[in-house]
Structure 1
Amino acid sequence: MLKETFIQLLTNYTDNNGLTNELWTEIEKNYTSKKRHYHTLLHLDTILIQLTEVKKEIQNWETILFTLYYHDIIYNPLKSDNEEKSAELAEKRMKQVLVPIDIIELCKQQILATKSHIKSTDSDTNYFTDADLSVLGQSWEKYSDYYKNVRKEYSIYPDFVYNPGRKKVLNHFLTMDRIFKTDFFYDKFERQAKHNLQMEIELL
């Protein structure tokens, strides 16, 4: 589904099949890196499923799709500029297939919004960041798989370094007025997300 959706997306901008396949191969290679345990193709697939549920509410579906594929294309747990690097690569690749500049700029803004997950004035951005965080509101079993996979990605750090940092992130979400900015995702996930976050904190 991910590959087909990406190729279909690019046919709106280029008829260069070689370039389209090259760009998909790059996405696939990055998201299937052995160093990744959570930020994988499965993560993208989950977001796509969540967004498809609210497709009728999305103003620019094609922009959202570009954001989906490129928002975590650069991911290094040792760096704090992954979103910026991902946005830069997204811009470069989108220019290669002649995507209009207004779509590129909005895509970059959406990617950067995943750094803080604060409410945006753009409703599409809020739908995307909510879908990106949808794992927080899954069943405890699925949430447990998520936080364990995140820990694997940060395995270079010992517990005494990782745990305080992780608690800070979890408390950041818990102190928000709303984790999920859109009513759809708020109603669907907010209560369970707060329960899961608190449970993980207690385990750290």
Structure 2
Amino acid sequence: MNLNSIFSDLISKYSDNEILKTDYWQEIEQSYSHKNRKYHNLTHLENMIIELEEVKDKIADYDSILFSIFYHDIIYNAISKDNEEKSAEKAKIRLEKLNIPNEKIAKIYNQILATKSHKKSEDSDTNFLLDADLAILGQDWKTYENYTQQIRKEYSIYPDFIYKPGRKKVLIHFLKFEEIFKTNHFKGKYEEKARENIQRELVQK
């Protein structure tokens, strides 16, 4: 998958500013390719797009979702509590320089904020974005286990006695949801396996 091409085609729908297009892509590529990004990297973006391509016909505003994917983790600092807010703000600042309608920018801003709590939204598109973001939870155990190791490396600044309780809190947060996945498509595809994986990880804590 050529993320640069996807991003370039997306921006071209709204602006013919080649300098901004190049600068914006370089910023995204550099941000997601940082050496500390073991999971929240370009591969994560690719996987989200692959997941959503299956349900593209069910998404009302696919352009907005793509922008949200590219920017939802552009700011990612393991010791920060407001990565989503900063990412949403950066997306807003960048996209305002393109000819993108304000209501679309507001939608992207809110979608990025929604990835903080992953609570069900009244907006169907947002729920598809959230489900794609969590699709890793419903993969086979080997893939899931690799993901947990990547996350641990991203938080390597924290010793186990701090990291493990924090990770446990996140996992229990997901299990407390009536439904981890908000859309019928992803619920049917991943819900059961995700709960099984999370429970298995919790047993190991």
Distance 2:204 2:157 in 1: 20
Letter in structure 2 aligned against 1:67? S
| Deviation by residue 1:157-177 (Cα, 9 ceiling, x = unmatched) | 000100001000001101110
Letter in structure 2 aligned against 1:175? K
5+ residue gaps, structure 1, are none
CA drift at 1:2: 1.0
- Counterpart in the other structure of 2:157: 156
Matches within 5 A, 1:1-150: 1-150=2-151
Distance 1:3 1:129 in 2: 22
Distance 1:74 1:98 in 2: 23
CA drift at 1:99: 1.1
Distance 1:127 1:66 in 2: 14
TM-score normalised by structure 2 residue count: 0.98
CA drift at 1:50: 0.3
5+ residue gaps, structure 2, are none
| Deviation by residue 1:72-117 (Cα, 9 ceiling, x = unmatched) | 0000010010000000000001011121100000001100000000
Instruction: Give RMSD over aligned pairs.
Output: 0.6
CA drift at 1:131: 0.4
| Aligned-partner SS, 2:107 | helix
Distance 1:42 1:160 in 2: 29
| Aligned-partner SS, 1:96 | coil
Distance 1:173 1:180 in 2: 10
TM-score normalised by structure 1 residue count: 0.99
CA drift at 1:144: 0.6
Distance 1:78 1:127 in 2: 28
- Counterpart in the other structure of 1:178: 179
CA drift at 1:140: 0.4
- Counterpart in the other structure of 2:170: 169
1:191 aligns with 2:192: yes
CA drift at 1:16: 1.3
Task: Kindly tell me the number of residue pairs found equivalent between the two proteins.
Answer: 204
Identity %: 51
CA drift at 1:203: 1.2
Deviation >3 Å, runs of 4+: none
Letter in structure 1 aligned against 2:26? T
CA drift at 1:44: 0.2
Distance 1:81 1:120 in 2: 20
| Aligned-partner SS, 1:151 | helix
Distance 1:116 1:80 in 2: 12
